[in-house]
Amino acid sequence: MKNRKFFPVILLLGLMLSSAVNATGPRVTPGMLVVPENEIFAVDAQPFVGTDLMNEGMNVEIVKAALTSVEINSTLTILPVAKMVKYYLLQEQVLAAHGQYINLSKKDKKSLIFVPISLTKENYFYYHPAHKSGFNWQGKLSDLSGYSYGSYQEEDVAPYKTAGIQIVPGRLHALLRKLISNEIDFIRMPVLTKNWMLDKHFPLEKENIIAITTEAEWVPQFVIFNKNHPDGEVLARKLAQGLAITIGSGQYATILKKYLVDDEVSERIKRLNDLIQP
């Protein structure tokens, strides 16, 4: 009965703290008033790119710093799903796109230039309470035959199918939920994404999401330039130049240090240098 007295206060507090959308209104984005300049379309992918992240995320900071160092202004448009970014890249022939799980065919790739901008550690993860003895991973996908894999919408799932793995497509948040409710057996994502998602959405499950493999795989992240755009090839070269400048000046490391521990910063820079060097 006592609690009832506080109910309106709790309700009001809940409303005040909520970031929920209450009524249909215009989404207020920079693009409403900005004339785009060297526009790059990116997929919302925390913590690398995101509308609600500090400076729109680590990868956005890297790209902006690199292009600024070669005196190029750019506009970043963040879109909610990979397929939208793919649409603009391939159908509207825009200058450039950024996003990891954009499924591109061999034919598509012929008209694109991939500029690596960073490396991320990725791993397969499972829910420990559902698989207490873990997985017998020996380094091949076929070791996971018979299990179900939560894939991203635009991910190339052919290797999993060939290995006899059942595919359950979905969005990252939904896949994590399915992993925890034992509807799927394993998923793949960058370690940084796993940490970010668990902190933000599933803090009580942090100890239960375990990597299948002991060693994470280093995966490059790219800005993809369009050769069919008149400025595509020039801007691709400019971004590569800009990256070299920011790495050389230490600015690249400064950006990474905001998001990563020091030993990971040097490892990533070394690996990116190896990728960029001919």
Partner 1 sequence: MRKQSTFCAAAILVMLAFNLHSIQAETIKFGANESPPYWSENDPHSGMCGEILHLLSQIVGIEANIVFEPLQRLINDKNNNDLGDPSFYIKNQDFAVIIPIALQHSSFHYYLPNQKSAIRIENWEGLKDYKVGILKGTFTQISYFNQLDIHFEESYSQISLLKKLKLGRIDMAIDLDLVINHNINQLFPEEKSNFQSIPIRNSTTPIAMMIATHHPGARQLGEKYRAALLKIIQDGSYQKILEKYYGKGNMPDNWFADLERFGRLYRFIQTE
55 binds partner 1 (CB under 8 A): yes
- Quick one: which of 10, 13, 14, 52 contacts partner 1 (CB under 8 A)? 52
From residue 213, give the alpha-carbon distance in Å to each of 11, 53, 144, 268: 45, 29, 12, 20
156 in contact with partner 1 (CB under 8 A) = no
* 54 makes contact with partner 1 (CB under 8 A): yes
Our finding on whether 27 is near partner 1 (CB under 8 A) is: yes
Of 1 and 17, CB closest to partner 1? 17
55: left (phi over 0), alpha (psi -120 to 50) or beta: left
Q: Looking at 1, 9, 23, 261, which residue binds partner 1 (CB under 8 A)?
A: 23
Considering only residues 83 through 102, tell me which ones interact with partner 1, judged by CB under 8 A.
83-84, 86-87, 91
Residue of the chain from 32, 105, 106, 140 that contacts partner 1 (CB under 8 A): 32
Query: CA angle, corner 255, sides to 261 and 209, nearest 5?
Result: 45
Is position 80 an interface residue for partner 1 (rule: CB under 8 A)?
A: yes
Please tell me the distance from the alpha carbon of residue 78 to that of residue 97, in angstroms, as a whole number.
Answer: 10
Q: Identify whether the C-beta of residue 130 lies closer than 8 Å to the C-beta of residue 182.
A: yes
Q: Which residue of 46, 70, 81, 93 would you call a contact of partner 1, by CB under 8 A?
A: 81
Residue 204 engages partner 1 in binding (rule: CB under 8 A): no
Q: Is 230 in the site for partner 1 (CB under 8 A)?
A: no
3 binds partner 1 (CB under 8 A): no
Interface stretch with partner 1, choices 12-20, 135-143, 194-202, 240-248 (CB under 8 A): 12-20
Ramachandran category for residue 228: left, alpha or beta (phi over 0 → left; psi -120 to 50 → alpha)? alpha
State the Cα–Cα distance between residues 186 and 144, nearest whole angstrom: 9
User: DSSP letter string over 184-247?
Assistant: SSEEEEEHHHHHHHHHHH-GGGTTTEEESSSSPEEEEEEEEEETTSTTHHHHHHHHHHHHHHHH
Q: In the set 28, 105, 277, 278, which binds partner 1 (CB under 8 A)?
A: 28
C-beta separation of 223 from 40 below 8 A: yes
Other C-beta atoms within 10 Å of 149: how many?
Answer: 23
Name the residue nearer to partner 1 (CB basis): 173 or 206. Answer: 173
Q: Which is nearer to partner 1, 105 or 277 (CB)?
A: 105
Check residue 10 for interaction with partner 1 (CB under 8 A). Answer: no
CB nearer to partner 1: give 39 or 143: 39
Q: What's the per-residue H, E or C state across 162-176?
A: HCCCEEEECCHHHHH
Q: Which is nearer to partner 1, 105 or 136 (CB)?
A: 105
Check the CA dihedral 138-139-144-150 and report its sign: positive
Nearer to partner 1, 83 or 237 (CB): 83
Instruction: Tell the smallest beta-carbon distance from residue 86 to partner 1 (Å).
Output: 8
**Which spans of this chain sit near partner 1 (rule: CB under 8 A)?**
15, 19-34, 44, 51-56, 78, 80-81, 83-84, 86-87, 91, 153, 171, 173-174
